[in-house]
Amino acid sequence: MWIAELSRRTDVPVATIKYYLREGLLAPGESVGATRSRYDETHVRRLRLIRALVESGGLSLARVRGVLAEVDEESRELHDVLGAAHGALIPDDLTATIESRLRVDDLVASRDWRVAPESHDRVLLAGALDALAKVGYHLDEDLLETYAAAAAEIADAEVARLPSGDGDRQETVESTVLLTALGGPVLLALRRLAQQSASARRYGSSHLPG
């Protein structure tokens, strides 16, 4: 396909595609002349991945470049690619109190989760607990455990639905990164919908919240 069709199929402007090509985020197409190149499905998938990371994941192009480097590293295990995607989505300036970090460590250990001690997600969760505490809300152990149990069930279902890796490795890792980048907003929206329904049931509301 020509670049105009690639643009139509991905909803990425031609000028932006050319920019990604210049920056090395998108591999060159097959040259068929001095000024023309032909593109294929691998370019469609890569553009959709870049667009998801930039627009929905909110990543800078520098961070996108780092994720794509992990995606393209053939020696990387899929588990490591997932970790790289997680890392790219987490801010660099994470902080958390020792108390909350220890609480997270205890939670991870009690659930026998296989998580690296240096995982930034540990600090991210601890920081979130600190943020609640600063506004006077203590997330009690029962509710934290409920969150953890729900998260474990969701994670198991998500990972089970990822490609096995026996086929097209590139497609597999791209699917893994996309689920990591875009699954969060889906969960957040579902949680809010469920909260609205639970609130209506508990308080007997006669109208549906907007």
pLDDT, one tens digit per residue, over 94-136 is 899 999 999 999 999 999 999 989 888 899 999 999 999 999 9
Instruction: Retrieve residue 118's tokens.
Output: 């240096």
Residues 29-47: pLDDT tens digits?
A: 988 877 789 999 989 989 9
Q: Is 198 inside any structural domain?
A: no
Q: Is 199 inside any structural domain?
A: no
Alpha helices, DSSP H, located in 36-112:
41-51, 61-72, 78-88, 98-110
Residue 11's CATH number: 1.10.1660.10
Q: Is 73 inside any structural domain?
A: yes
As a whole number, mean pLDDT of residues 135-149 equals: 95
Q: Could you tell me the residue range of the domain that residue 43 belongs to?
A: 3-191
> How many domains are there within the chain?
1
Q: Is 68 inside any structural domain?
A: yes
What is the maximum alpha-carbon separation in the chain?
70
Strand partners, 12: none
Return d(Cα 123, Cα 102) in angstroms, integer: 10
Q: Is 205 inside any structural domain?
A: no
Residue 177 has pLDDT above 70, yes or no: yes
